[in-house]
Amino acid sequence: MSPELGRFALALACVFALAQAILPIWGARRRDRRLMAIAPGLAIGQLIALLASFLCLVNAAVTNDFSVSNILENSSVTKPLLYKISGVWGNHEGSVLLWTLILGLCGAAVAAFGRNLPSALRARVIGVLGGVAAGFELFCLITSDPFDRVWPAPLDGQGMNPLLQDPGLAFHPPILYTGYVGFAVPFAFAIAALMEGRVDAAWGRWVRPWAVAAWAFLTCGIALGSWWSYYVLGWGGYWFWDPVENASLIPWLSGTALMHSAIVVEKREALKIWTVLLAIGTFSFSLSGTFLVRSGILNSVHAFAQDPARGIFILALLGVVIGGSLALFAWRAPSLTTGGLFAPVSREGSLVLNNILLCSICAVVLTGTMYPPFMSLLFGKTISVGKPFFDAATIPLAIPLFIFMGFGPMLPWKRAQLWPVMKRLWVAALATLAAFAVTMIGLSGLLPILCATLAVWVITSSLTDLAGRLGLFRVSLGQSFQRAKSLPRSAFGAGLAHIGVGVSVLGLAVMSQAQHKIVEVHVGQSEQLAGYEWTLTGVRNVPGPNYTAMEATIEIRHDGHLVTVMHPSKRSFNTQNQTTTEVSIHTNGLADLYGVIGDKHGPDDNPTYVLRLHYNPLAPWMWFGALIMAMGGALSLSDRRMRVGAPRRAVASDVVAAE
């Protein structure tokens, strides 16, 4: 398993990918069944080669092969095994390889699960995925070779950024990338549909599970990243509107819109062109986000090795992928037939509204993120766009979104009346009013009150919708159980995901009331925060595997009862001459007590320590809600209808054309 073998496997994967990009699509065009039939084999071959290549890099990292410059720069002998493995994707070269591996995985997944797709469509989808993969494999081989060697090989590596040595961050990139790259599949479906000149209900049904799967991974990835910044950076914050965070939020927003508009394509054959554009747009945003961060155009705290030369290659790649697909869109989409009509007040209408609002938020985030470099380019001014802009611009758009989330899912298709739906929601409306009263007392600030109230509205109305479908409180429990068994899981999934949104928003709204305090205390001194008494009872030095730590002991009491003892620490890493703070968090599910130890001041015999103490109400709910959303997605994916039966096109030109 030498690095050269890894590079060879990568080159082999690239050859597979090129063949995958050319032969099946050519075959689909010439209606050559044999050429179309080799697509799955090529996709699986590519995956095997990529897997071999990736394992070679992991092997080099685990066996401390410091002759590989990538390992040398990011690893060291003393680094724990988990981080030797996760360090493989903790740097530019390795993360591109992981990116490509996941893309290969997507291609192979379409090959494996897409058996009931029409052969021409499947060949084209796999072909498009192969084309994108070939581009990234070339990028990897030409400008960011992870297997580059150095000579003479040093005895020890330079070590990894201690901030990244964290279990949360070890799994964050693979999950996030699966989300990013997963949107390549809807993208490939969109391009294949444009090549065929045909989008119909079956297409909507095939695209939807891929979009849902990618969305669920992206949701988890974003939540994990935010959680990491919450407990590792030690600032008590969870979202900083940093360009890298925005780069993941933008495709999440457009992907959420895509997931919803694909429903309209499936059920009503409307919004077809829009859905195709969203599929292209979402993947384009994923790609551009990666590019902007790696090329160094966006100013971010997430420092990847930035190299403009590398940027030019990615830009060219983006030009081919995004420019090419949008050109194909402009050329072919106008000939797509328009579908079913619907009244403004209807399920379709509410989904259109959902799309408009989500895309507006997406546009706002995009503008805020891209404004600084564009201003700098056009007017030579350096400015930054921060939290005040994003908060002020996104929350007013999110509020109507939450309102309509409540009754949108209950509206019938085609033409609906609001009044009967409103009547069914009276319980939810009462609960919302009660929540409004409670939040008026408990929270300060108009926006937190509104958001918390609407979160309760989203949760209760989603529950009402599910209860209504099950006939709870109207029919017997046994009958409800029967209904539950026959109700499609995607309905449960959607309800669950909406509840997850509500839970997250409630967490975000209440978290805005967080309290914190920075104090300088002697050992034995106490501080009051949020009704708790925080006492620093001791500080000691603790040696770690590749660092030494200064660990504080803080006892927290409430009404005289000991709530918890926390041990925040500050680690000094010898290899990098860097320190990290290890936050200590005690949670009871409703609030986090969050302690950080800072600098030591004063004489050694009677020193003072700087402590930062936070009280974060409902903080865990923010990530818990995201988990519920992802679980909703997973539940919806387990729906039988997503897999069997329906994915069969109405017998039409396809079969005839293939003859």
Partner 1 sequence: MNSEEVSPGDDRKSVTRRRLLLGVPMVGAGVCGVAFWKMLSGMQAGSFNPHDINAPVTGRPVPDFTLPDQPPGTGFAAADLKALTAPVLVNFFASWCIPCIAEMEALLALQKHLPIWGIAYKDKIENATGLLKHAGNPYSRIGSDRNGRVAIDWGVSGVPESFLIAPGGLIVWHSAAGLDNSEVRDGLNAALKAVGGR
Q: Applying CB under 8 A, which residues contact partner 1? A: 234-237, 240, 269, 273, 277, 280-281, 284, 288, 291-292, 295-299, 308-309, 311-312, 315, 318-319, 322-323, 326-327, 329-331, 333-335, 337-341, 370, 372-374, 376-377, 382-384, 386-388, 515-518, 520, 598-599, 601, 610, 612
How far apart are alpha carbons 541 and 548 in whole angstroms? 7
**10 Å Cβ neighbour count for 234?**
22
Q: Which of 276, 287, 204, 200 is nearest to 251 (CA)?
A: 287
Q: E strand or H helix at 608, and its extent?
A: strand 608-617
* Rounded distance between C-alpha atoms, residue 396 and residue 447, angstroms: 9
- The dihedral region occupied by 241, where left means phi > 0, alpha psi between -120 and 50, and beta the remainder, is left
Least Å from the CB of residue 512 to partner 1: 11
Q: Which is nearer to partner 1, 117 or 277 (CB)?
A: 277
**Residues composing the chain:** 659
Least Å distance between CB 136 and partner 1? 18
| Min separation Cβ 230 and partner 1, Å | 11
Q: Which is nearer to partner 1, 297 or 456 (CB)?
A: 297
527, exposed or middle or buried, with CB in 10 Å at 0-12, 13-18, 19+? middle
Whether omega before 152 lies within 30 degrees of 0, making that bond cis, reads yes
Query: What sign does the dihedral 420-425-427-429 (CA atoms) show?
Result: negative
Cβ proximity to partner 1: between 7 and 268 the closer is 268
> Measured from the CB atom, is 172 or 612 closer to partner 1?
612
Strands (E) across 179-338 are located at: none
Judged by beta carbon, residue 70 or residue 288, the one nearer partner 1 is 288
Closest to 175 in 3D by CA, of 95, 229, 243, 109: 95
* 3-state DSSP assignment of residue 273: helix
Task: Give the nearest distance from C-beta 63 to partner 1 in angstroms.
Answer: 34
DSSP state of 523: T
Q: Which residue has the tokens 């409004």?
A: 436
DSSP code of residue 149: B
Residue 24 beta carbon to partner 1: minimum distance, rounded to whole angstroms: 25
Least spacing, CB of residue 275 vs partner 1, in Å: 13
Of 61 and 297, CB closest to partner 1? 297
Minimum CB separation from partner 1 for residue 322, in Å?
5
Residue with Cβ nearer partner 1 (374 or 481): 374
Task: Select from 64, 65, 57, 63 the least CA-distant residue to 101.
Answer: 57
- 58's enclosing H/E stretch is helix 39-62
Shortest Cβ 409–partner 1 spacing (Å): 26
Separation CA 613–CA 622 (nearest Å): 20
Give me 461's structure tokens: 């109305």
Based on CB atoms, which residue is closest to partner 1, 516 or 557?
516
Residues 6+ apart with CB under 8 A from 432: 453, 454, 456, 457, 460
Residue nearer to partner 1 on the CB measure, 309 or 644: 309
CB of 372 to partner 1, least distance (A): 7
Taking the complex as a whole, the smallest distance from the CB of residue 233 to partner 1 amounts, in Å, to: 8
- Smallest separation, CB 339 to partner 1 (Å): 7
Residue pair 585/592 in contact (Cβ under 8 Å)? The answer is yes
- What is the C-alpha to C-alpha distance for residues 125 and 115, in angstroms, rounded to an integer? 12
Are 19 and 42 contacting, i.e. CB atoms less than 8 angstroms apart? yes
Question: What is the closest distance, in whole angstroms, from the C-beta atom of residue 122 to partner 1 in the complex?
Answer: 23
Q: How far is CA 177 from the centre of its chain?
A: 8
Q: Which two tokens stand for residue 160?
A: 């990894």
Nearer Cβ to partner 1 (333/466): 333
CB-nearer residue toward partner 1: 8 or 413: 413
Nearer to partner 1, 69 or 295 (CB): 295
- Answer yes or no: are the C-beta atoms of 304 and 293 closer than 8 Å: yes
The angle, 0 to 180 degrees and rounded to 10, between the axes of the packed helices 184-196 and 119-142 is 130
Instruction: Identify the residue whose tokens are 């669950």.
Output: 496
Q: Is 515 helix (H, G, I), strand (E, B) or coil?
A: strand
CB of 519 to partner 1, least distance (A): 8
Which is nearer to partner 1, 338 or 537 (by Cβ)? 338
Q: State both tokens at 556.
A: 């927290």
